[in-house]
Amino acid sequence: MSSRIASLLDHVRAHAENRPGVYRMLGPSSEVLYVGKSVRVRSRLLSYFRAEPGEKAADIIGHAHHVEWEHTPSEFAALLRELRLIKQHRPLYNVEHKRDRGHCFLHLTKEAVPRLHVVGRVNGASGDYYGPFHGPGAVSEVVRAVNDLLELRDCAADTPMRLADQGQLFPVKLEPLCMRGQLSRCLSPCAAGCTHAEYHARVTQARAFLEGNSDAPLVLLRERMALAARRLQFEYAAELRDRAERLEALRGWMVSLGRTMKRLSFVYTVPGYAGEDRVYILRRGSVRDERPAPRTPEEHEALAARVREVYERPEPETLGLKAHEAQEVMLIARWFHLHPEELEHGAAPGA
Ligand code: SF4
């Protein structure tokens, strides 16, 4: 063991306690190499010094020049703190939270003639975002199917639109600007193929489907499947069946996301180490505020006022999320999935 690592070990032995917390391994220039959490920080840190060569822990401690930690009141607090630190520092060794590339969102744009498309992250463009989903490839296929079935456009944002009710000084027969229009897979708002209201009726159907409130694309797909089978186009019918299965999977996911988001709206009291209890105000799966658990009548009143403020703030009831919220929502959903007994520490916002 090098003298550097031996002195890190002495430091941990002398100061770390066996209680929940987060720790950081820092490189020679104090850059954060790794962020971790544990319910027993001291034991976890000591385990790094026993790691066998070739193990990730041995690699991390081999590169560490400083070890820092902070104790938290509970495992839940450590979990949140770890996520926030990883987001802030994006440490080299934290591949788990860093790898966002496997996720994607559906974005229903807020343009005059909206589009539904897949984006890797919420990029600030206005509109509704749905997700996150795993597997951008499969999600792209589903979106293509929804666009084709509801005949929504999928061209570039700057494609010129000519709606039928737009009014033209010199009426001319327009041709759709791409094959989708010619193949009746798009209403062709670029070529006066529909009015503004007709197009927006389809956008409303797409939104209702994404919110889990409508089956319209599935119904259309099943009708086409039945027609293909009647025409003995079995290969095409099988392709449509596969598409329908993917659409159903997406709809199921949206419905369960909606239920989870609704369920994760409560005031969560977490008993803390040595009486450091904390209260988290959760709304739709993200922490909107947190503070030490109230002890005096004044603190109870202040908490109640804050809860009212958080819950009375108007919020769209869509399933849309911002990217920075998405991982926290997933983390919190996973926490209660793994610890369902913790739901007993929750109180309805008005309670
Ligand atoms: S037909 Fe026109 S509106 Fe539709 S996708 Fe093609 S270019 Fe866009």
Query: Can you tell me which atom of ligand 1 is nearest the CA of 189?
Result: 3
Q: Record the tokens describing residue 224, joined without a space.
A: 């086409």
pLDDT confidence band for 90 (50 / 70 / 90): confident
pTM of the model: 0.66
Query: Which residue is closest in CA terms to ligand 1's atom 1?
Result: 181
Ligand 1 center to 158 CA (angstroms)? 11
Is residue 97 scored above 50 in pLDDT?
Answer: no
Please report the beta strands in 85-154, taking only residues with DSSP state E, as ranges in sequence order. 103-109, 116-119, 127-134
* pLDDT 10s digits, 182-206: 998 999 999 999 999 999 999 999 9
pLDDT confidence band for 85 (50 / 70 / 90): very high
Q: What's the per-residue H, E or C state across 28-69?
A: CCCCEEEEEEECCHHHHHHHHHCCCCCCHHHHHHHHCCEEEE
What is the predicted pLDDT for the residue at 348? Answer: 72
What is the predicted pLDDT for the residue at 42? Answer: 96
Ligand 1 center to 177 CA (angstroms)? 6
Mean pLDDT over residues 109-132, rounded? 83
Q: Is the CB of 188 under 6 A from ligand 1?
A: yes
Query: Which residue is closest in CA terms to ligand 1's atom 7?
Result: 177
Ligand 1 center to 23 CA (angstroms)? 53
Q: Determine how many CB atoms are found less than 10 A away from the CB of residue 75.
A: 17
Ligand 1 center to 188 CA (angstroms)? 5
Query: Can you tell me which atom of ligand 1 is nearest the CA of 154?
Result: 5
* pLDDT 10s digits, 231-256: 989 898 998 898 888 888 887 777 77
Q: Is the CB of 180 under 6 A from ligand 1?
A: yes
Residue 44 CA to residue 61 CA, distance in Å, equals 12
* pLDDT 10s digits, 257-293: 777 777 888 999 999 988 899 999 999 888 999 999 9
Q: What is the signed CA dihedral for 283, 284, 285, 290, rounded to 10 degrees? A: -10
Query: Can you tell me which atom of ligand 1 is nearest the CA of 178?
Result: 6
Q: Is the CB of 202 under 6 A from ligand 1?
A: no
Are the C-beta atoms of residues 282 and 76 closer than 8 Å to each other? no
Q: Record the tokens describing residue 104, joined without a space.
A: 């994607």
Q: Is the CB of 144 under 6 A from ligand 1?
A: no
Q: Record the tokens describing residue 115, joined without a space.
A: 């589009």
What is the predicted pLDDT for the residue at 343? Answer: 84
pLDDT cut 70: percent of the chain above it: 91
Q: How long, in residues, is the chain?
A: 351
Query: Which residue is closest in CA terms to ligand 1's atom 5?
Result: 153
Q: Determine how many CB atoms are found less than 10 A away from the CB of residue 311.
A: 16
Mean pLDDT over residues 155-178, rounded? 84
DSSP state at residue 271: -
Where does CATH 3.40.1440.10 sit in the chain? 3-98
User: CATH classification of 3-98, choosing from 3.40.50.150, 3.40.50.1100, 3.30.428.10, 3.40.1440.10?
Assistant: 3.40.1440.10
Q: What rounded mean pLDDT belongs to the chain?
A: 87
Ligand 1 center to 117 CA (angstroms)? 14
Mean pLDDT over residues 128-146, rounded? 81
C-alpha distances in Å from residue 128, one per residue of 115, 139, 148, 149, 197? 11, 16, 20, 20, 20
Residue 129 CA to residue 347 CA, distance in Å, equals 29
What is the predicted pLDDT for the residue at 130? Answer: 81
Pick the residue with more confidence: 213 or 8? 8
Strand order of the sheet with strand 286-292? 286-292, 278-283, 267-270, 346-347
